[in-house]
Structure formats: structure tokens, C-alpha cells
Structure 1
Amino acid sequence: MRITQELYAEVAISAWQAPGYTFGMDGSGVSVEPVPSARPGVARRTATGAVLLALVVSAFEGTVVTSAMPTITRELGGQHLYSWVFSAFLFASTVGVLISGKLADRLGRKPVFFAGMGLFLVGSALCGLADSVHALIAFRVLQGLGAGALQPTTLTISADLYTLRERAAVQGLFTGAWGAGNAVGPLIGGWLVMQASWRWVFLVNVPVGLFAALLLYLSYRDPPRRTDVKLDRWGPVLAGTSAAMLLFSLEPGHAELRWLCLLGAVVLGAGLVFQQRKSLAPLLPMELVKDRTVLSGVAGGIAGGALLYSMAAWVPLWMTEQGGQTPIVAGLTLLPMLLGWSVGSTFGVKLLVRGGMRLSAGVGFAVAATGAGLLALTAAYGWGTYAALASLAVLGMGLGPAASTSLIGPQSRAPWHHRGIVTSSLYATRLLGGSLTVAALALARGHFALQFAIAGALAGVVALGLAVAAPGKASNES
């Protein structure tokens, strides 16, 4: 059945579930109407506000550091480790996403939420007190693990709070909260650097996060735990270790060590494939791994994360080092991309309905590649700030439909009882693509035009691949 707007309305909110949690299903896969975990009224509104606040603060931390990093590296040193402050957070978030979903089903939402918030806040406080860039990177790992656990868990809690029919009505709140957190991050980060200190970029999370945790504690009760949820203990370990080795192989330094890390990543990756084929609870069900729509979504997720986070990492540095801009202006330069993302994503579903992922994601990445190419030319020939802003807007206009339909397309193919694990797996690929690309582009640090050109070339390759291999029509087989 072809995707409809009604299906999208349900998928967009209900499929943002954590792995293993089945919206509107009992254990046998039979549709049921869930009982909200808070009665309509003050308690439910309070719980909704709590998870929205947690979602905003975790999304905010992914981009707030972008406009502060040039100042941080000037004060703490470690210019050669610039990219690791981003990559460490994104990589740890990937691991947090992979392990938190089923734990929320097995242990309950509250324990996982509070554990994630605790890690996030402790990491934030320690980042604010860091006296070296090495310490900052280590504490960003704590932050990332917490943020990775928070984002899927908050979305799972939101599904507990509302019935299936109500979720479509509140979807805008949660997509808007995530977008707002990312959009205002660079602006607030630049303002804090200029008005106070870069340390407040991290410390500001502590009171906000504590307030969100208190609100949730007072207003939300956990649904019954699911003792039938099977946990894949080795899958996340192998996936995380393999990705970490690949990340270390991109670090400039001893060539022998880099090749050893790359070999380790390949061996562990092969071990992951073997283990997943035997696992009773794989990270992604094997029947979906073979699906062209899902594979297209994986490629789109990696490329989307690569473009989004590489621009967030390197554009502000380019603006401060070569453009002579203040931190707050450097942060503002990302706003056209994020606004373009929001505008472009509204057209994504229409393109998906009309021509499947081949049209929606393929055209989207082609437009994004054009924007990145224009940005590379702007950096190479010094066309100025306005040309950079226009290029980033074009990039965002393409990235919006490409990234959103790379998620919605696979969701429509997966049965209801697999949509959560598909969604969180694709979200993890977006984070992983971002962490690896930011680290890889550090090898060309200082050559901003080359960095932007490489990012654009990646988008162009994915656009071509999707045009050839992605299915022409999206379907729902559930």
C-alpha cells in the first residue's frame, strides 16, 4: 500500500520509539490501544513538558558547542583535537541510542531516563570544569552516552502518555522541540561565550536538566515492565568497539597504529555480522537488512549525519578563523541551514508519495550536494558571508527532505512491531555518520574549501546511488 499522509502522521510520532517498544501492540503483535501513563490534565501536561525539556537540552548540546569551540581550543590548546570534541559526543550518543531502548522496556522508562539524565548532567558539569582538551573529550563521552539514552527514552515516554490517535496531534511538539534545540544551540553558544564564558555552554544544562527530571519524577508513572524483552548484550559492544576503532584509525599520528585500528575495525565488524546472524534479538532484524528501502535509509542516514554535523563542526571555525567573525555571528551562520532543513522536510513526504525514496532522498541529496559545492566555492574564492549563508540555505533545503524521508521510507516498509528498532537504528547511523565524517575531515583541517567539497561529493555519490538503487515507490507492508 502506498504511503499516505495519514500513515505519515502516525509514523512521524509513533515510530520514534525506542528499540523493542511496540506502539499500539501487545506481545503477540496484535494491535491494542495503549493506556496512557498519566491521566489527561495537569500531570500529563507536566510530564509532556518534562520530556520536551529533556529532548531540547539533549538536542541543544549537539550544536551549542559549535560556536564555542574556537574559543575553547584557544584557551585549552589542543587544536589538533578539535574534531574529537564533536566526534566523541556523537559516537557516544550512538552507543547510548543502541543500548537504551530495550533497557527502557526491561527496566522501566524512569530508571533509564534518570540514568541517562544523570550521565548527561555529570558530563556537562565536568565539561564545564575541564582544564585540558583531553579531559573535555573524556567528559563529552559521558555527555554523549547520557544524551543518546535520553532522546529515544523521552520519545518512548511520550508514547506512554498519549493514545495512538492523540500522538499524531502532538507530533509537532516533539519534532519542533528537537529542531528548536538544534537551531538555537549555536546562537546561545556564541552569546554565552561573549557574555560569560565558554564553560557556561556546558554548565547551563545542569539546572535545566535537574528541573526536567524533577517534573518527570512528580508527574509520570512507569507502565508495567516487559519481562519478555530479549537483550542483545554483544551486539552493541561489537558495534561500538568496531566504530571506535574506525574512529581512531582517522586520528593523525603513527601510520602503524592507524592501520592496526583499521584492521581491528574490520575484524570486529565481521564479528558483528556473524553475531547478528545468530542473535535472537539483533540490532536490526535480518529480513529488514536485505530490504532495499531500509538499505537506502541506512545510506541516507549516514550521509545526512555526515553533512549536518560536518557543517556544524567546521563552518563556525571557518567563519572565525578566515572570516574574522565573532562567536555569536559564527553560530548564526548555521541558522539558514537549519531553517532550510525545516522548510525542505515539509516537501519530503510529498516527494516520497509521488516517487518513493528514489525521488525524495535522491533529489534531496543532489540539492544538498549543490549547496555544499557552492559553499566550497565560496570558501575557495572568498565570496563573502552572504554567499555562505545562501549556500547553507540551499544545503539545508536539500538535506531536509533527504534525511527525513530516509527515515520515513524504511518505517513504512517495516511491520509495526519492528518500526521502533528500525527508527532507532537509522538514528544511530546518522550519529555514526556524523562522528566519522567530522573526524575524517580533520585530516584536511585548515583547508575549508576542500572539507566542504568532500562533504558535497559524499552527498553527490549517495544521490547517484539512490537514483540507481532506491525503490521508486514507498510501500507499507504492515
Structure 2
Amino acid sequence: MAERTETPISIDVGKESNPSTPVISATEKPGTNRGWHFWGIFLSLAVASLTSALDLSAISNALPVIVNDLHGSQFVWVSSAYTLSSTAFLPMSGGLAQAFGRRPVILFSLLIFGIGSAMCGAAPSMNFFIAARTLQGVGGGGILSLTAIIISDLVPLQERGLYQGLIGISWALATATGPLIGGALAQRGAWRWLFYLNLFTTTLAAMFMFVLLRLKNPAGTIREKLARMDWIGNFIVIAASSSLLIALTWGGVQYPWSSPRVLTPLFLGVAGFGAFVYYEANYAKNPLVPISLMSNRTTVSGYIQTFIMSIIMLAITYYLPLFYQACQGASPIATGVDMFGMTFTVAPVGIIGGASVAASKRYRPQLWAGWCLLLIGTGLLTLLEVDSGRGMSIGAQAVSGVGLGILLTASFFPVLAPLPVSANAHAVAFLIFMRTFGQVWGVAVGATVLQNQLVQRLPEAFTAAPQGAEIAYASVAVLDSLPQPLQGEVRAAFAHSLRVIWQVMAGMAGVGLGVSLTMEHVELRSATDREWDLDEKRVGADEEG
């Protein structure tokens, strides 16, 4: 394919720009000095990322035990409640970071995440647990968003691939140890400590942030800063997101898609997003999501790729452990080991992918390769049977993991390359919004497919029991106690139902590859936004002291 170069959008007016070189605006400056303060901040961001990633990677392996212990049937809400609140808060986190500064917002996010984790660990019932996961999601969304925003503030896009890859080390550690920790604790009936462990990492990250995160803060009184917020836009997007995600969570699982309880929130959510776009484009003084972010096809392509990739990633992460436990009778600890094909490829390959972008100053070849590998990997997952060998299942994971690792790191570049650095906060917050919104779709679509397929495939002797298809996750805990041939029939029903999920994900990977072909090459910027750089006076005073 012939390479075309798209000119990066500049906020400068009246200056000619070379299409092959980004324009440096008045708010831009060469990259930040890499002193010990920078690396201290970077370490604190890595710890914060570890906190969020560990929670995500560990809970899916422990979920059957959690649902069984709390006597719940709404397993999909354990993840959906977290991602719903996280998604709804994400756009606001970018606006808060612009109005109040990065430091107070990320410290607040860590505090909320810690409180939510403590409540999850102490949950006496499933409803309380889901409410705690909702609060935890608000903090988790802020952590994800502010971590990415701060890195964007301090590291030029041209160099960011390497640093995004280094952050991936924390994800590598979490994804490698999370399933094992979650499985070990669940197997011993101590799953609550999975959430209490978050308190340690959250406190550690907050201490690093409080001491080392010396960034410039916007001037103005509290009232002036509050006035900069797009409150109407925030209200609309939170209401629309919540309504739409409730419909996605209920549809086909708790209620039929034709039910008014699904169609009403679905319609209100879609209409709400339409109203949000109209308001942001015509009335918002400080828009939550500036329409200018969608002014070029490369950025739009990056957002869509992020959304699709997130659907596939969460579907695999969430439902592949179920294959090992429900279809092959693996224990939670053994499932953690069986997931090594993913855990030991996603983050390490992300580091390599990010470094390759930094070295080559190109991102399209990496994204194309990532989509091709993900398409192959999800295709291989569709071949899994009850009696498939470990080599087959781990190999399919590994191919998918390599593709996801590349996409996770490289998907930032088509979004940010055409935009001015002054747009970082809003652009990155919306990027993380698309990622978490996609994760909700991944869990919800997978749950809908799984439940609908199980209703059709589970033997009548099983669906007639009190724990029928409506609580498929809870049924995993009792599979070993079922007599043969009923046990084998139930395991086969799970395997065939999960195969349909993999088929849907393979189709989405094909769509993602097609969308990636619409990108144009854009030169990567070599400057950062001086408005959000390190506070040189405070940093200098610390270093002299």
C-alpha cells in the first residue's frame, strides 16, 4: 500500500507547515528532562497501573467461587458494574485533570479505588459486592486515565512507545501473577484477600504520588476551576453510558432483547449519546469531548480500533478461564497456569511493539500485524473442544496474546499523532473511555452468547435443577459432583457455547483489520505541552535539598 502522509493538526494560526514535520505550537516544548524526579513519577505510575491490572487479571479466575460463596446469580454484574462506573467517569476525569491538575485527581482516584476494594473484601452479599465494585470502578477509571494523561504530558509522542512499553512491565507482572493469586486464594476460600491486597498497592502508589508527583497546576480559585467543567456534558454522558450499559448487561441474560426492560434503557442510551454529541458541538463552552478530536480519519480509526480490540481482549480474558474450569475440570490455580499463553505474551510483546514504534517512527505496520495475529489467534480458539490438549489451547492463547500486546501499545499513536499536544487530556481520556466501553461490550456480548447457547445446549436434567442456565458461572462449582454421563454432557454444552463466543470475536478481529487499513501515516511529535510539564521550581528546590 502506498504511504500517504497526513498533516498533524496544529493550534497555530497563520503558519505554514511541512506535511512531513509536526508544527511546534506556542504551548509545546522539547521533551522533559529525564532526572530522578521524572523516574520517580514514572515508577509511581507503574505501581498505579499494577494496582488496576492486578484487580482485572485476578478476579476472572476467582469469579466462580465468589459467585458461589455470595449465593449470587448475576455474575455478569461483577465485571459490568466496575466497567460501567469506570466508563462513565472517564470523560469527566479528563475534564477534572484540566481544571484541577493531574496530581489531585489521580490521588482522589487511588483513594476511591482503595475504599471500593475494602468494601469488596468485606462484602456480605452479592448486591453489596456489586455496589462496591461500582465504587471501585470510579477509582479504577481515574487511575487508567490519569496514568496515560501524565505520560502523555511528560513524554513526546515520538518517544512514547518505549515508555508505554515500560509501563507494560507492570501489566506483565500483574497478568502473570494475577490469575495465580486469584486462583490460589479462591481455592482456599480466601478470595476476599484478593481485594485486601489492593489496599497495599494502592497505599504504596498514593505515597509515591504524594511525594514525587510535582507537576504544574492550573491557576485560579476553586470556583473558577469548577466553572471550567462541562457539567451538562458530564451529566448527559454519565446518564447515557449507564443506560446503554444496563441494557447491554440485561439483554439476553436477565431479560429477552425484545423486553421493554432492555429496549427502554437501550433507546435512552443511544438517544442520550446523540444529545451529547449535539450539545458538545453547539453549546459547550469547555467541551468534555471536543468535536475537533474527530476531525480526521486517522484519529477516528484509532478510536474504533481501540474499541474493537477491547471487546476481544475482555472476552478472551473473561471467558477463557471458564473453558478450563467448566470444560476441562481445572482448579482455579491450574487455570492460572493454563492462562500463561496470554499472561506471558501480552505485556512483553507490548514492550517490544512500543519500542519498535519509537525506533521506526511508524505505527501502521505494527497495528496491521497485530490485527492479523489476533484474527489467527481467535480463529484457533474456535477449534477448542472438551478434550483439546493443553498445547492447542495455550498456543491459540499465545497467538492472540501477541496480537493484543501489539495493539494495546500501538493503538495510542493513530489517535494522538494528528492532534496538538494541548489536546492530550481530552484525547487520552476519550481513548481510555473507548477502551473500557469496549470491555463492557466484551463481557456483555460474551454473556449474552453464553447464556443463550447454554439454554439451548444444556441437558434437561441439569436445566431443571435450581441452578439452571441462568446462573451458569455458579454452576461451575458443582460440576464435579454431577454423575456421568450428565457431567460430560454439561461440559460439552459449555465448550460448544464458548466456541460461538470465539467465532464472534474472530469476526470482530476481521472488522478491526479492515478499519486499520483506513489510517494514514502521520509524523510523531517530538515535543510535550509546557503547560503540564514538571514544576521546575519545586523539582529544583527538592534536588538542591
TM-score of Structure 1 vs Structure 2, range by shorter chain? 0.7 to 0.9
Larger radius of gyration: 2
Deviation at 1:34, TM superposition (A): 8.4
Q: How much has 1:46 moved relative to structure 2?
A: 5.3
C-alpha distance in 2 between matches for 1:33 and 1:462: 34
| 2:486 is equivalent to residue 450 of structure 1 | no
Q: Provide the secondary structure at the position in 1 that maps to 2:344.
A: helix
Distance 2:158 2:366 in 1: 27
2:202 maps to which of 209, 213, 224: 209
2:121 paired with 1:115: no
CA offset digits 1:250-285 (Å, max 9, x no partner): 313341111111111121111111112122333433
Alpha-carbon separation, structure 1, partners of 2:320 and 2:161: 35
Aligned to 1:376: 382
Q: 1:431 to 1:211 in 2, by over 3 A?
A: same
Provide the rounded CA distance (Å) in 2 between the counterparts of 1:118 and 1:363: 39
SS in 1 for 2:29: coil
Deviation at 1:397, TM superposition (A): 1.7
SS of equivalent residue, structure 1 residue 32: strand
Change (3 A) 1:397 1:322: same
Residue from 397, 418, 439 that aligns with 1:434: 439
Q: Identify if the C-alpha distance between structure 1 residues 290 and 382 changes in structure 2 by more than 3 Å, giving closer, same or farther.
A: farther
Which of the numbers 258, 268, 271 marks the counterpart of 1:267? 271
Q: 1:111 to 1:348 in 2, by over 3 A?
A: closer
Structure 1 pair 207/457, CA: closer, same or farther in 2 (3 Å)?
same
1:71 aligned to which of 28, 41, 65: 65
Residues 304 and 402, structure 1, Cα contact 8 Å, conserved in 2 = yes
How far did residue 306 of structure 1 move? 0.6
Distance 2:4 2:114 in 1: 40
- What one-letter code is carried by the residue in structure 2 that aligns with 1:238? I
Correspondence for 2:412: 407
User: Alpha carbon RMSD of aligned pairs, Å?
Assistant: 3.4
**Alignment-mate amino acid for residue 511 of structure 2:** V
TM-score under structure 1 normalisation?
A: 0.83
Percent identical pairs in the alignment equals 26
CA distances 1:38-95 after superposition (whole Å, capped 9, x unpaired): x955x7665554333222112221221011101111212323x222211221222223
Residues 3 and 96 (structure 1), Cα distance of their counterparts in 2 relative to 1, 3 Å cut = farther
Q: Does 1:308 align with 2:313?
A: yes
Contact 1:86 1:313 survives alignment (8 Å): no
Matches within 5 A, 1:174-185: 174-185=167-178
**Post-superposition offset of 1:208:** 2.6
Q: Which letter maps to 1:61?
A: D
User: Residue in 2 aligned with 1:50?
Assistant: 44
Question: Which runs of no fewer than 5 residues in structure 1 stay unpaired?
Answer: 8-24
Q: TM-score, normalised by structure 2?
A: 0.73
Q: Is residue 2:142 matched to residue 1:149?
A: yes
Q: Deviations over 1:216-240 (max 9, x none)?
A: 3344445332448732223333223
Amino acid at match of 2:500: L
1:340 aligned to 2:345? yes
Shift of 1:453: 1.4
Structure 1 counterpart of 2:186 = 193
Q: 1:390 aligns with which of 368, 371, 395?
A: 395
Q: State the shift of 1:414 in Å.
A: 1.3
Hey, what does 1:30 align to over in structure 2? 27
Find the aligned partners of 1:197 and 1:162 in 2 and give their Cα distance: 41
Aligned equivalents of 2:194 and 2:522: distance in 1?
A: 42
Structure 2: gaps spanning 5 or more residues: 9-22, 451-493, 527-545
Q: What one-letter code is carried by the residue in structure 2 that aligns with 1:367?
A: L
2:511 corresponds in structure 1 to 461
Contact 2:109 2:142 in 1 (8 A): yes
TM-aligned CA deviation for residue 390 of structure 1:
0.5
Rounded to whole Å, the distance in 2 between the matches of 1:472 and 1:270 is: 28
Equivalent-residue separation in structure 2 for 1:404 and 1:188 (angstroms): 25
Is the Cα contact below 8 Å between 1:3 and 1:412 reproduced in 2?
Answer: no
| Residue 454 (structure 2) aligns with | none
CA gap of 1:187–1:3, structure 2 versus 1, over 3 A, is farther
Q: Which deviates further from its counterpart, 235-244 or 59-68?
A: 235-244
